[in-house]
Structure 1
Amino acid sequence: MKNIYTFGRKPAQRNYTVKDLQDLKGSGTRLTMCNPATEAEIRACVDAGIDTLTLWDTHLEMARELAPTHFAGTAMNWGQFATNDEIMRHAIDCMENGADMYFTNRSFEVVEMLAREGIPVQVHMGLVPSLSHWCGGLRAFGRTADEAMQIYQTFKRYEDAGAFACEIECVAEDTLRLLNEHTSIVTISLGSGNAGDIIFLFMSDICGESGHNPPKHAHAFGDLGRLHKQIYTERVAALKDFQTEVTAMNFPYPAQAVTMRDGEREKLQEALDRL
């Protein structure tokens, strides 16, 4: 553990610092990342030894209570804020509340603005789902040398803007492996094979909760979907029994009811009869 001060000037410890992640590039060490969104999911990531977390801002406070030493980034939605001032205010608030990096997929100008203030900025390359209209829909990237070089040029632009890390989504594995040697940016592979510095996968994909048509890069290491179906079936059965018993005037059962003390019912009846 490393002793640090957070961006909010609070003493803390972290399993990894920004410099640690930068120093791990080229070392052969590969880290994990997941996106817990509930108390149970955060606790599970901690107990499972997941290295780094990525969180929405609404989950940051809870994550800092449950995973106080984990390197944890937080994010903004593409359309969450309209102006640069709003983005900057949000980023500063997140960092002061314990985030270790801030994700945005807005313009190079926004990245440069945030980085200029010392904020470790994470960006997004390859398949950016919210911008999929521009590339003809959901598809893989970097499968040709020309497109791989376009990705390389984007890496360089993000380096110049001051980006610290980048989620690389659905880029050819061999493309990322070659380009990773030519960038200082910490690469976070999602669907880009085993070539990133950090391997990221969604909680729902890892745990088998993605339904019948998960993306190609998803791999279920568990089968919580089966358990969710079982829980749903049990829930419906219990609700039906409740409905039936109430309609039949059977529930609440005597065991769930409270009765008057001995002799008190008769006293009450007498009092009522005198009305």
Structure 2
Amino acid sequence: MKTTIQTIQCKKNQEKITAITAYDSLFASLFDTQVDIILIGDSLNMSFGGKKDTLSITLEEMIYHTKAVCRGAKKSFIITDMPFGTYATPKTAVKNALKIYQKTNADAIKIEGGQQRCKTISSIVQEGIAVVAHIGLMPQFVRSEGGYKIKGKNDTEAKILLEDAMILQEAGACMIVLEGIRSDVAACISKNLHIPTIGIGSGLQCDGQILVWSDLFGFFQQFKPKFVRQYLNGAELIQEALQKYIFDIKSSQFPSMEESY
């Protein structure tokens, strides 16, 4: 059965929500029967495209990868990131959100920003498109903020984050991603909202958790963020298998007669 926004929202205070990123049909199909949510994150610009941040990815690239994920995932709730610059104004945001909905089978779009996105979210929702909000550490703001910085470190920041979350909920957001927020502040936000929160680096009390798949499975080797738990040493396993493959070719052990026509 297809996971819907109602399915996700009913899990709040009942069952933890599971989410992971995916960028292609193959991995989406592997994750599909296991997780509630698959996010086509603009993180693909870094983990898939090798760029230093998320800012240069285009709407067309996001649509391409969303189509691929939707071909592989039939059950999970699919969320697509709106790239940097594609929702600068409510009118632009609606136009681009409609394009994503028309060209893909995504269930929702996600945009970064606090209460300044209130009108934008409301305008998109009025067009029949589900919107996931994203507050706290926002990767699309990395240049303007001078790096990746934890949020909610003082009472003023904590108050603003709670206000942001409440206003975005009122504007029509169906859930909110809380990234890089001090855990007690994220817990307070989650407690005060009636929509689910999905945490990344924001502590245990969020209604669900998400990680980038290449972090989760140990394929990204440059560094490991504090909030990441690696469940597999994927890079090492791939490299070991590749060496065996190379050895078998060079030693004429592959292909065998059974593997030949």
2:35 aligned with 1:50: yes
Aligned to 2:13: 26
Structure 2 counterparts to residues 62-101 of structure 1, below 5 A: 62-80=68-86, 84-96=90-102, 97-101=104-108
Residues 123-144 of structure 1 show CA distances to partners (whole Å, capped at 9, x for unaligned) of 1111012213454532211233
Q: 1:125·1:166 contact (CA, 8 Å) conserved in 2?
A: yes
How far did 1:232 drift?
Answer: 5.7
Q: CA RMSD in A?
A: 2.7
The alignment partner of 2:176 has SS state of strand
One-letter amino acid of the counterpart of residue 208, structure 2: I
Structure 2 counterparts to residues 191-206 of structure 1, below 5 A: 191-206=201-216
The alignment partner of 1:32 has SS state of strand
How far did 1:65 drift?
Answer: 2.6
Unaligned ranges ≥5, structure 2: 41-61, 251-261
Q: Which moved more, 1:192-201 or 1:89-98?
A: 89-98
One-letter amino acid of the counterpart of residue 219, structure 2: E
How far did 1:95 drift?
Answer: 2.5
Determine the C-alpha separation between the residues in 2 that align with 1:127 and 1:235: 42
How far did 1:221 drift?
Answer: 0.2
Determine the C-alpha separation between the residues in 1 that align with 2:35 and 2:65: 17
Determine the C-alpha separation between the residues in 1 that align with 2:126 and 2:188: 29
Residues 85-140 of structure 1 show CA distances to partners (whole Å, capped at 9, x for unaligned) of 44323312323432111111255132221122232111111101221345453221
- When residues 148 and 52 of structure 1 are mapped into structure 2, their CA distance, relative to the original with a 3 A threshold, is same
2:218 aligned with 1:208: yes
The alignment partner of 2:153 has SS state of coil
One-letter amino acid of the counterpart of residue 101, structure 2: M
Aligned to 1:218: 228
Determine the C-alpha separation between the residues in 1 that align with 2:83 and 2:245: 34
By relative contact order (CA 8 Å, sep 6+), the higher-ranking structure is 2
Unaligned ranges ≥5, structure 1: 2-13, 242-275
Aligned to 1:37: 23
- When residues 114 and 173 of structure 1 are mapped into structure 2, their CA distance, relative to the original with a 3 A threshold, is same
How far did 1:66 drift?
Answer: 2.2
Determine the C-alpha separation between the residues in 2 that align with 1:115 and 1:54: 19
Determine the C-alpha separation between the residues in 2 that align with 1:85 and 1:149: 29
Determine the C-alpha separation between the residues in 2 that align with 1:18 and 1:51: 10
Structure 2 counterparts to residues 182-261 of structure 1, below 5 A: 182-230=192-240
One-letter amino acid of the counterpart of residue 77, structure 1: P
The alignment partner of 1:184 has SS state of coil
Determine the C-alpha separation between the residues in 2 that align with 1:215 and 1:208: 12
Q: 1:33·1:201 contact (CA, 8 Å) conserved in 2?
A: yes
Determine the C-alpha separation between the residues in 1 that align with 2:64 and 2:214: 18
Please, which of 81, 106, 109 is the counterpart of residue 102 of structure 1? 109
Aligned to 2:255: none
The alignment partner of 2:74 has SS state of coil
2:176 aligned with 1:166: yes
TM-score (norm 1): 0.73
Number of equivalenced pairs: 227
One-letter amino acid of the counterpart of residue 71, structure 2: E
How far did 1:81 drift?
Answer: 5.9
Percent of matched pairs sharing the same residue:
22
Determine the C-alpha separation between the residues in 1 that align with 2:167 and 2:88: 23
One-letter amino acid of the counterpart of residue 105, structure 2: G
Determine the C-alpha separation between the residues in 2 that align with 1:234 and 1:104: 44
